[in-house]
C-alpha cells in the first residue's frame, strides 16, 4: 500500500499486537477501522466509558488508501488530537507517534474514570451516613435554634 500522506512505501508491522501499515518515509500509520478500537483496548477496553470517538469534521487533503474517498479530519475523543478518518469507515491515518498519544489519552481517561467512580462511591457512603438517626437529630436540633 502507498502512503496517502507522502506517497511512500508502507510496511506491515506489529504494534501492541495489532498489524498496522507504517510508512517507511514519514512514519505515519494506517489503522483499519477496527484496529483503532483494538489499540485503545490495550489500555481501556470498556467502550461505554470511552465516550464519543470524534466530533466535528473538516475535509482532509488526503484520500483513503483503500477506497480513494477524500478523508475527513476529526478531533479525537474531544482532545486536541486531529486524525484523518475515511468517511466510508475504511480506517484512520495517524501521523508519526500519534499512536503513542492515543494510548496516553486513553490512560488519562482511565485514571479520570477511576477517580470519578471512587468519588461517587465516597459520596454514596456519605449519603448513607446522613440518613442515620443521630445525624437527623443534629439537623432537627440545629433547625430548632
Question: Residues 6 or more apart from 29 whose CB is under 8 A from it?
Answer: 15, 20, 21, 22, 23, 93, 94, 98, 99
Q: How many distinct structural domains can be found in the chain? A: 1
**Position with higher pLDDT, 145 vs 44:** 44
Asked if residue 99 belongs to a domain, the reply is: yes
Asked if residue 137 belongs to a domain, the reply is: yes
With residue 43 as reference, give the H or E element that holds it.
Answer: none
**Position with higher pLDDT, 114 vs 61:** 61
State which residues form the domain around 97.
10-144
Question: Could you tell me what percent of the chain has a pLDDT over 90?
Answer: 52
Report residue 124's pLDDT band, with 50, 70 and 90 as the boundaries: confident
Chain segment 26-68, per-residue pLDDT in tens: 999 999 999 999 999 998 777 666 666 676 789 999 999 999 9
> pTM to 2 decimals?
0.72
Asked if residue 3 belongs to a domain, the reply is: no
Give the span between the Cα atoms of 27 and 6, in whole angstroms: 10
Question: Percentage helix, strand, coil, to 5, in the chain?
Answer: 40, 30, 30
Asked if residue 4 belongs to a domain, the reply is: no
Asked if residue 1 belongs to a domain, the reply is: no
Asked if residue 76 belongs to a domain, the reply is: yes
Question: Residues 6 or more apart from 11 whose CB is under 8 A from it?
Answer: 21, 22, 24
Report residue 139: phi and psi, to 5°: -65, -45
Mean pLDDT confidence for 119-140: 70
Amino acid at each position: 500500500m502507498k502512503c496517502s500522506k507522502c506517497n511512500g512505501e508502507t510496511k506491515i508491522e506489529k504494534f501492541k499486537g495489532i498489524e498496522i501499515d507504517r510508512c517507511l518515509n514519514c512514519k505515519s500509520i494506517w489503522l483499519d477501522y477496527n484496529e483503532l478500537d483494538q489499540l485503545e483496548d490495550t489500555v481501556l477496553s470498556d467502550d461505554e466509558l470511552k465516550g464519543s470517538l470524534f466530533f466535528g469534521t473538516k475535509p482532509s487533503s488526503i484520500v483513503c488508501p483503500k477506497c480513494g474517498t477524500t478523508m475527513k479530519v476529526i478531533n479525537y475523543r474531544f482532545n486536541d488530537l486531529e486524525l484523518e478518518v475515511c468517511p466510508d469507515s475504511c480506517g484512520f491515518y495517524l501521523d508519526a507517534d500519534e499512536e503513542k498519544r492515543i494510548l496516553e489519552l486513553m490512560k488519562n481517561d482511565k485514571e479520570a474514570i477511576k477517580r470519578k467512580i471512587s468519588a461517587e462511591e465516597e459520596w454514596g457512603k456519605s449519603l448513607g451516613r446522613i440518613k442515620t438517626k443521630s445525624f437527623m437529630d443534629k439537623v432537627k436540633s440545629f433547625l430548632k435554634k
